[in-house]
Structure 1
Amino acid sequence: MTAHGQDRSASPDGAVRAAKDQVRARILAARRALPAQERAARAEAIAAHAVALADGVSGPVCSYLPFGTEPGSPALVEGLVAAGHDVLLPVVPDGAGPMDWAPWTSDADTAPTRIGIREPTGRRLGPGAIAQAALVLLPALAVDRAGTRLGRGRGHYDRSLPLAAPGALLVAVVDDDELVAALPAEPHDRRVAAALLPRAGVTWLRNRN
């Protein structure tokens, strides 16, 4: 409630945020219910699709280490490196602002943050390092056919993606049933060009340039 007794969720922006939270809760519950064996099989497929997608890409690839029940596994990053790519991973700032980036060398050179996400411990390259990447693989809870990506709501990628190169390929990594017809969106949401799915592989979206 506001100081004037109005429920913020009754505003247009509040309604969109509430709708996003409902989708997040549903997807997180479904991910928690997924058997470990099936999650591992999907992660293996995602890693193979990512390596195939990155074939021929010059320059580093921006990726991530999956957190909790996020689709994928460290094999996603390991596969890209084994294929000859330099991989940059995000480093989440303590406050608001875009993420920093650091090169991945091995899982031994990562450490958990206070919220459990593993980050590289090597030298920081600065938020602008994302501009070096022609391919950016993004964690997501869902993505729709128009390219709207739903994240966890912290806004780190929303503040980082505007720094990506204009021609960079932005790809959301989700499970097949997390590619949906439409998602609630806000003006600051940055759209992606494709979804990377364990069964369907790379699926191009209407937002593709």
Structure 2
Amino acid sequence: MVTDALARNAKANLRAEVRRRRRARSASVRETATGALTENLIALVRRRGPALLGCYLSGADEPNTRPFLSWAAANGVDVLVPVSRRDGLLDWVHARGGAEQPGLFGISEMVGEVVEAAVFQSVDLLLIPAAAVDDSGMRMGWGRGYFDRALASLEEQPPVFALVYDDELVESVPRESHDKPVVGVVTPSRIHEF
């Protein structure tokens, strides 16, 4: 489809721009953003009260989820984090402040016993990464499709929030026919529901 081909090209350009901006952020700017993002994530979890939460373990340039995951472990919030598989799917392990190791693509993943697929089916809230999210809630990921496939595997989809920096909540993102919106976004400055 021509429109999907054009969208893929536009996504590649926007992803490159987002990566460039993320890498240009100073350590102090990232640290300030991490503190504010963590406060907003805690507020979202307190408001929503999930029994089981799914959250990604952030990479070097992504909005940092580690302080939030530490808070969750210290406060009895049950969290699953993803582990990438070679077949393009995700397994999930409990985030209990455990050790990390490099996974596929060199991305850090928590070490732990993989939970049964039925456990992931009972997630009440998902916090997922994004390169950008637009004003309608359309999420643009990083192009590997791991989280898209994870969402598609859920029999009942819980509320899904994307985590981005403030300048990554944009007017519009390129979209392909398979793209789905999220219900909200969490940035260092706010929690926004669409």
SS at match of 1:137: strand
Would the alpha carbon gap of residues 71 and 191 (structure 1) be closer, same or farther in structure 2, given more than 3 Å must change? same
Structure 2 unmatched runs, 5+? none
- Computed over aligned residues only, the root mean square deviation of the Cα atoms, in angstroms, reads 1.7
Contact kept, 8 Å, 1:195 with 1:203, in 2: the verdict is yes
Q: Between 43-52 and 126-135, report the one with greater CA deviation.
A: 126-135
Could you tell me how far 1:94 is from its partner in structure 2?
0.9
Contact kept, 8 Å, 1:142 with 1:180, in 2: the verdict is yes
Task: Kindly report which structure 2 residues correspond to 1:1-209, keeping only aligned pairs within 5 A, or say none.
Answer: 11-55=2-46, 56-96=48-88, 98-108=89-99, 110-164=100-154, 166=156, 168-199=158-189, 201-205=190-194
User: Between Structure 1 and Structure 2, how many residues are aligned?
Assistant: 193
Distance 1:36 1:59 in 2: 34
The TM-score, its normalising length taken from structure 1, stands at 0.86
The letter for the 1-side match of 2:191 is: V
The letter for the 2-side match of 1:185 is: R
Contact kept, 8 Å, 2:83 with 2:103, in 1: the verdict is no
Query: Could you give the per-residue CA deviations for residues 78-133 of structure 1, whole angstroms, max 9, x where no partner exists?
Result: 1222232011000111123x31111011142x211142222122111144433211
The letter for the 1-side match of 2:125 is: L
Could you tell me how far 1:177 is from its partner in structure 2?
0.8
Contact kept, 8 Å, 2:52 with 2:77, in 1: the verdict is yes
Relative CO higher for 1 or 2, CA cutoff 8 Å, sep ≥ 6?
A: 2
Distance 2:178 2:51 in 1: 27
Could you tell me how far 1:44 is from its partner in structure 2?
1.3
The letter for the 1-side match of 2:82 is: P
Would the alpha carbon gap of residues 66 and 35 (structure 1) be closer, same or farther in structure 2, given more than 3 Å must change? same
Query: Could you give the per-residue CA deviations for residues 6-48 of structure 1, whole angstroms, max 9, x where no partner exists?
Result: xxxx932211100000110111100000001110110111111
SS at match of 1:115: helix
The TM-score, its normalising length taken from structure 2, stands at 0.92
Distance 2:167 2:3 in 1: 27
